[in-house]
């Protein structure tokens, strides 16, 4: 059992994770690797297809220049293995017999058909935590449906309430459904490892992307269940409170009048500048009036007023009064953000084959006794084959050469 009492040791130091996941689970593997686990990425011979997801460094496609791969594959080791072959499946069983976690994103039933399902591997290693992330889970009428990030957002109910009332449903930028499923999977894996501390037994963690996304829709499903009223897309506004993002002089700024005093103060500021229109009238005292027939009128007045100010002016005014106002940052501004820079969120690291250092985002958490570290850059294809197969499993160079020649590793 790993000793987690030493200062500076990461939470999962000493744990071994076999990562057979694709894009649906890549963030789960990264989270565990960043917590200190020895995450061994099991790639098919020739390399994982994720190595060919753009954009690419210097616009030169290649297995070691995908910015997607460089971001998600840090702190990992890489081996190549064709698990669909008999020899490959046998090698994976040997690896799994000593692993703590196996992470996979194959269609339900595929791993079982190869003799690599949870029941097969748990017979060899009763403490194995076997994490399966799929679009719809291991059971149910949709278990065999294919699913992408877009499908996860759509069938999880998130897209329908994202966008404007007069436009079709809108997806979020990036692979947010994949990342949501990966987040839930990492939590499930940690809970299973915690349970193992008490029982010594592993278990199968079944994660559905649809369920993971559906769990993020906040009040939408509950509101319909109790009120019978479906949620609608509300553009830059939040469905319940006056939370909106407005165009201003130099971009966009988010304003939250989460309390009556905040709404009253905002109206008073606008009135001081002669820009409040009729918003000081008593009928606008209720912040929920924005959800009614007067919302378009209120928004028109606020938008005209906001265009007279910069993001920083509005932010400073709100924050000085302890209201959550803030600018909508552009990607460049995020990299230069003084708060992120001051906390050292972005880190610089050398990368093999790159003349310049690479900027990586850090961890979304801070642990005082076991800090996050960027230990290694993304590995090359099969970079650790000799270490894992030779040093750890005891295969001879001749045997490894035979397996490589047969396309197994």
Tell me the pLDDT band of 289, cut-offs 50, 70 and 90: low
What pLDDT is stored for residue 167 in this prediction?
Answer: 86
Other beta carbons within 10 Å of 346: 15
> Higher model confidence: residue 16 or residue 351?
16
Taking residues 112-116, report their average pLDDT: 98
- At 25-63, the pLDDT tens digits run 999 999 999 999 999 999 999 999 999 999 999 899 999
Residue 3 confidence (pLDDT) above 60: no
- At 296-320, the pLDDT tens digits run 788 899 999 999 999 999 999 999 9
Taking residues 316-339, report their average pLDDT: 95
> Higher model confidence: residue 328 or residue 217?
328
Is 306 within 8 Å of 327 (Cβ atoms)?
no
What pLDDT is stored for residue 290 in this prediction?
Answer: 57
pTM (predicted TM-score): 0.91
Per-residue burial over 356-394, b if 16 or more Cβ lie within 10 Å, else e, is eebebebbeeeeeebebebeebbbebbbbbeebbeeeee
User: How far apart are the C-alpha atoms of 149 and 48, rounded to whole Å?
Assistant: 19
3-class SS string, 265-309:
HHHHHHHHCCCCCCCCCHHHCCHHHHHCCCHHHHHHHHHHHHCCC
Domains of the chain from N-terminus onward: 16-151+174-215+357-405 (3.40.50.10540), 242-332 (3.30.1540.10)
Tell me the pLDDT band of 4, cut-offs 50, 70 and 90: very low
Is 147 within 8 Å of 155 (Cβ atoms)?
yes
Q: At what angle do helices 295-306 and 260-272 cross, to 10 degrees?
A: 50
> Higher model confidence: residue 327 or residue 219?
327
For residue 261 the two structure tokens come to 């005093």
Among 220-224, 231-235, 237-241, 287-291, the least confident range: 237-241
List the one residue out of 106, 102, 105, 107 whose CA is nearest residue 92: 102
What pLDDT is stored for residue 327 in this prediction?
Answer: 96
Tell me the pLDDT band of 2, cut-offs 50, 70 and 90: very low
Q: Tell me the CA distances in angstroms from 37 to 15, 41, 79, 343, 363, one per residue in order.
A: 5, 12, 16, 24, 14
> Higher model confidence: residue 154 or residue 231?
154
Tell me the pLDDT band of 1, cut-offs 50, 70 and 90: very low
């Amino acid at each position: 059992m790993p000793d987690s009492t030493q200062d500076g040791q990461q939470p999962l130091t000493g744990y071994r994770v076999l990562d057979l996941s694709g894009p649906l689970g890549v963030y789960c593997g990264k989270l565990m690797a960043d917590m200190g686990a020895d995450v061994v990425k099991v790639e098919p011979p020739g390399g994982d297809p994720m190595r060919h997801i753009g954009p690419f460094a210097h616009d030169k496609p290649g297995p070691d220049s995908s910015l997607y791969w460089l971001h998600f594959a840090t702190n990992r080791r890489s081996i190549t293995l064709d698990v669909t072959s008999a020899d490959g499946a046998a090698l994976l069983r040997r690896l799994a017999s000593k692993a703590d976690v196996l992470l996979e994103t194959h269609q339900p039933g595929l791993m079982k058909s190869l003799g690599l399902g949870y029941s097969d591997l748990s017979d060899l290693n009763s403490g194995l935590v076997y994490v399966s992330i799929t679009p719809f889970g291991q059971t149910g009428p949709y278990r065999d449906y294919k699913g992408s990030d877009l499908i996860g957002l759509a069938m999880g109910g998130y897209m329908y309430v994202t966008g404007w009332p007069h436009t079709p449903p809108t997806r979020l930028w990036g692979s947010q459904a994949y990342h949501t499923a990966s987040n839930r999977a990492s939590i499930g894996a940690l809970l299973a490892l915690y349970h193992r501390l008490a029982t010594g037994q592993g278990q199968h963690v079944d994660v559905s992307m649809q369920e993971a996304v559906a769990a993020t829709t906040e009040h939408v499903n509950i509101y319909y269940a109790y009120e019978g009223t479906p949620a609608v897309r509300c553009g830059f506004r939040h469905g319940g409170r006056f939370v909106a993002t407005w165009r201003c002089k130099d971009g966009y700024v988010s304003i939250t009048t989460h309390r009556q005093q905040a709404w009253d103060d905002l109206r008073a500021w606008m009135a001081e500048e002669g820009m409040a229109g009729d918003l000081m009238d008593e009928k606008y005292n209720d912040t929920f009036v924005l959800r009614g027939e007067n919302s378009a009128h209120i928004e028109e007045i606020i938008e005209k007023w906001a265009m007279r100010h910069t993001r920083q002016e509005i932010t400073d005014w709100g924050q000085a009064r302890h209201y959550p106002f803030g600018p909508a940052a552009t990607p460049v501004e995020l990299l230069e953000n003084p708060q992120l820079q001051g906390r050292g969120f972005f880190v610089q690291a050398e990368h093999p084959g790159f003349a310049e250092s690479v900027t990586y985002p850090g961890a979304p958490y801070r642990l005082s006794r076991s800090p996050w570290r960027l230990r290694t850059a993304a590995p090359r294809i099969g970079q650790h084959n000799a270490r894992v197969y030779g040093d750890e499993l005891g295969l001879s160079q001749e045997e490894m050469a035979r397996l490589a020649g047969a396309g197994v590793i």
